Structure 1
Amino acid sequence: MTRASRAAASLRRTRTVLGRGLGQRARLRWVHQLLGGALLMPYFLLLLALLPLLLPVTSEPFRDLGMQFLAYGLSLPLVAATGLLFPLVRTLETYAAQALCAVPAGALARGPAVSWAARRRTAGWFALHLGTGALVSGVSLAVPPMAAVLLLVPFVPALRVREWWDPWADFVSGPWSWTAPLLGVALLAGTVATAHVGGALCARWAPVLLGPTPADQLAAAEQRAAALAARNRLARELHDSVGHALSTVTLQASAARRVLDADPEFAREALNAIEDTAREAVAELDSVLGVLREEHDGEDTDAAGGGTAGAHPAPVLADGLGGLLRRVRTAGVRVDRTGDGDAALRALPPHTAREGYRIVQEGLSNVLRHAPGQRVRLGLSVTEQELCITMTNPLPTAPASGALRAAGMGGRGLRGIAERAILLGGTADAGPYDGGWRLTARLPLGGGTGSDTGDAGGTGGTGDGTAGSAR
């Protein structure tokens, strides 16, 4: 290695050291330490004023170094108590650590310290920050003026007054005075090193002491799960209500277009059916929006004594099944209903009746999209334990038309059916059966509350596709 390359390598190392000690990150961490020293000052001054009243001292507290260190040590438990008793301390310290210590935001907890475990961590962090900050602040205030004087001692004779330097007067006024600048440089380097160590220590411990506790992580996971459940719930409602209406309108419009000239009366009836279906879709959309408002305003509304379900409540089997079957039949699908009548359906729990209606609606929508014109057998059986829904239809002899495939809504119907059944503690299954297609759903009468509960997010073993394989 040549002399020039060695000099270049030495220069790079010097730049690296200076960058670590005086770079932007180091300067911000230094500011963070000075902030901690400033926050400790009220505690320190209070104890420094009270100690002469409690202890038999004769010296001036503000001039006695031992008394100052004693006040410093006694102030740290008070600092820790502040972090323990005031939850907002964690919020303030988190933002300060993120902005000045370059700690990633994901490593720090958000919000006040609610649990006692989080408060204890906050207390430890607050004591660490203010304790190291006080030491760095003291060094930063005291050492640079002394270092500046040492740098100027050999060149300014007025600074070599013996009374100032006692007991080191011989050092500054003798032949060793030219070493004073070296000592001054060493003191400045020590100040930078102290600030660097204090900042690095706080940056190292910030994720540990200000990071989320297991309780915080559990709460965050519950919030994410609740938000996901709300989105899935809204997606199911939109898919089953608006998606069914669009599929029905598509079929009715297609039929009206084909017979507009040959059978104007049938076309008129189809247009009336389209109008009724669209009106019903608007009403159901209002109900879905009411569900969404419940997610945001439920607690406030409950406190006020009112509901937010909207002007049009969600349809249920007893009241809405007749209109649903009428619209489907108008679209060209023959539906034969068997099993228990409306009296048994009216005795169902509200959540079971609501989710059962949506399951029947989605099953019929699948027939409209994938097996138009096929006869559907719908069986509804109510026992003391459960509601059993069975829907069978022959497989289509030809693929659905382009308009029907366009109304397929992406193949999420059976997944939504399975989720609704699972939320009630039931099961749902669909697939080929005896040369046709069968959908079976069993909903316990004493199950959960359907869409008002969390979202299981499962599929219950059902697939999605077309009526020829899976819908």
Structure 2
Amino acid sequence: MSGTGAARRLGRAVLGARARLGWVHLILGGALLMPYFLLSQVWVGVVAGRGNVLASPTLTLASYAAALPLAAVTGLFGLVRPLSVTAVRALCGVPGDLLADGPARSWGSRWRAAGWWTLHLGVGAVISGMTLAATPMALVLILVPFSATLRRAPLGAGWFSSAANPYATPFLGVGLLVLVAVSSAAAGALLARLAPVLLGPTAADRLAAAEERAADLAVRNRLARELHDAVGHALSAVTLQAGAARRVLDRDPEFLREALAAIEETTRRTVGELDTVLGLLRDGDPARADAAPAPTLAADLDGLLARTRAGGTTVTAGQDPGPAGDWEQLPAIASREAYRIVQEGLSNALRHGLGPIALHIRVHTPDGHRELEITMTNPPAQAPPASDGERRRTSGGRGLRGAAERAALLGGRVEAGLHEGRWRLRAVLPLGSANTPANPATPSTPSTPAGGAGR
């Protein structure tokens, strides 16, 4: 039984699906070497003074040897590696994670890809030659006992004569086929073993892949923050607005109309923002994430405060310097991130706070550098019982972490926690020199928010 199992394994290794795909891969390599071989034939023929190089085995081998350096030179092109990797993944059974993606970026990876290209084409040419020469010969030898014409043909010389022993030729033909199959399987296994070595990712490839994953993760985090801030604030505001409307249903129709209008406006805006973010997720285009329209201080600060007040919460706002129109002078990214930080602060206060909210936004110039400072305070919530606390705390602190990430994007910081008996959220966003336009698009090292892990 063990012998039968070994024979089956050997048969699969030589004639199985993977071996057949490996043979196709080798034949492709032989075909790719043909242009180089034809070019080298011309050179060898000129040097040797022979018109037909193929008539001489020595000159044929010399042409083959001269074709390999030509193939190696073209293997240095960056696009050779992704072409080779695609073929190896499809035909050699090599796991994809062992191979590099994309063009070769460094000279080291280019030389390794050139080595693989030369090896593939060189070995593929040998197997292609064996297949083209030995297979027809093997079929003829197998048919010799059944054809008088073939028995009279000069199939060999010296030690071999089909006329002398015609019934031995089928065994020779089968032997030739076995030789081709075993050689092809061995060559395919060799290439499959060497593919991760020559086509595997280098340190530069791993770094580029890590940077690409980090960029993709940053975009996903950005979209997650947008969803959290927009939808979370809308749900908090709508819940309070609906509750306030229910309480005054019979007593204050005017307030009821204002609350319902605020609910309608809040949900309409949130559906639009949700549709934008979901569209970006479907498209999968990171470049569009920062280009997506988003509310800003200049465009919607007053509307944000009005919708919050419509739920019955008192919000006092102070701005320095002057009216809301001055916020149009802010850099777009700073105005957008500041709006989201204010929105998160309001949502946080509505979910967890008690009593009125005091918001103050100002632009000041300490040490010649302009900064946008946002300060929001409200009475803290009373500590609930443990069971209620687990039920009420549903945000997991993601909102404050998101606000800290937004501030860190601009090189700023967020502080959140108890301050003089009140809960305070304070964000500082640098805007650049007082005499030089700010360039907030370059992220700085994130700062750790003080006391920001609570709400």
Is 2:380 aligned against 1:395?
Answer: yes
Q: Which residue in the other structure is 1:437 paired with? A: 423
1:467 matched to which residue of 2? Answer: none
- SS of 1:388's partner is strand
Query: Which secondary structure does the structure 1 equivalent of 2:378 belong to?
Result: strand
Corresponding residue for residue 123 of structure 1: 114
Whichever residue aligns with residue 438 of structure 1, its letter is R
Partner of 2:336: 354
Point out where structure 1 has 5 or more consecutive residues left out of the alignment: 1-7, 300-306, 465-469
Q: 2:413 aligns with which of 427, 437, 453?
A: 427
Q: For 1:314-341, what per-residue CA distance to the aligned partner results, in whole angstroms no more than 9, with x for missing partners?
A: 322x564444333323322223445734
Other-structure match for 1:64:
56
Looking at structure 1, the residues matched to 306 and 393 of structure 2 have their Cα atoms a distance apart, in angstroms, of: 20
Q: Determine whether 1:9 maps to 2:2.
A: yes
Q: Report the Cα distance in structure 2 between the residues aligned to 1:210 and 1:225, rounded to whole angstroms.
A: 24
After superposition, the C-alpha distances for 1:300-357 in whole angstroms (9 at most, x for unaligned) are xxxxxxx9665xx6322x5644443333233222234457343686665443333223
The residue identity in structure 2 corresponding to 1:248 is A
The answer for the alignment partner of 1:330 in structure 2 is 310
**Residue 78 of structure 1 corresponds to which residue in structure 2?**
70
- Residues 341, 454 of structure 1: alpha-carbon distance in 2 compared, 3 angstrom cutoff: closer
2:241·2:311 contact (CA, 8 Å) conserved in 1? yes
Q: 1:340 aligns with which of 305, 312, 320?
A: 320
Measure, in 2, the Cα distance between the counterparts of 1:83 and 1:210: 12
Residues matched between the structures, number: 440
Task: Work out which of the residue numbers 10, 24, 28 in structure 1 matches 2:21.
Answer: 28
Provide, for residues 192-215 of structure 1, a one-character-per-residue CA deviation record: whole Å limited to 9, x for no partner: 221112111221222233334444
Q: Say whether 1:270 aligns with 2:270.
A: no
Q: 1:243 to 1:453 in 2, by over 3 A?
A: farther
Q: Which amino acid aligns with 1:353?
A: S
**How many angstroms does 1:29 deviate by?**
0.6
Offset of 1:106 from its aligned partner?
Answer: 2.9
C-alpha displacement at 1:165, in angstroms? 2.8
Instruction: Please say if residues 242 and 285 of structure 1, whose CA atoms lie closer than 8 Å, have aligned partners that are also in contact.
Output: yes
Q: Supply the AA of the counterpart residue of 2:218.
A: A
Look up the equivalent residue of 1:222 and give its one-letter code: E
| 8 Å Cα contact 1:345-1:382 kept in structure 2 | no
- CA displacement, residues 66-115 of structure 1 (integer Å, 9 cap, x when unaligned): 11111111111222223224x44334333222221112233333444465
8 Å CA contact retained: 2:141, 2:169: yes
Give the AA of the match of 2:377. T
Work out whether residues 419 and 460 of structure 1, in 8 Å CA contact, stay in contact via their aligned partners in 2. no
Does structure 1 residue 364 correspond to structure 2 residue 346? yes
Q: TM-score when scaled to structure 1? A: 0.78
**1:217 equivalenced with 2:198 (yes/no):** no
SS at the partner of 1:84? coil
AA in 2 matched with 1:99: A
Partner of 2:248: 259
Contact 1:429 1:440 in 2 (8 A): yes
Distance 1:74 1:336, change over 3 A: same
Q: Deviations over 1:390-410 (max 9, x none)?
A: 32222224869x9xx899666
* CA 23–289 in structure 1, closer or farther in 2 if over 3 Å, else same: closer
The 8 Å contact of residues 229 and 454 in structure 1, kept in 2 or not, is answered as no
Q: Tell me how far apart the structure 2 counterparts of residues 132 and 367 of structure 1 sit (CA, whole Å).
A: 71
2:220 counterpart of 1:231? yes
| Counterpart residue type for residue 23 of structure 2 | W
* Partner deviation per Cα, 1:370-390 (whole Å, 9 max, x = no partner): 22x512233445432433333
SS of structure 2 residue aligned to 1:342: coil
| Matched AA of 1:33 | L
Which runs of 5 or more residues in structure 2 are unaligned? Answer: none
Displacement, 1:253?
Answer: 1.5
Paired amino acid for 1:44: F
Task: Tell which deviates more after alignment, 227-236 or 373-382.
Answer: 373-382
Against the structure 1 CA distance between its residues 320 and 151, is the aligned structure 2 distance closer, same or farther, given a 3 Å change threshold?
A: closer
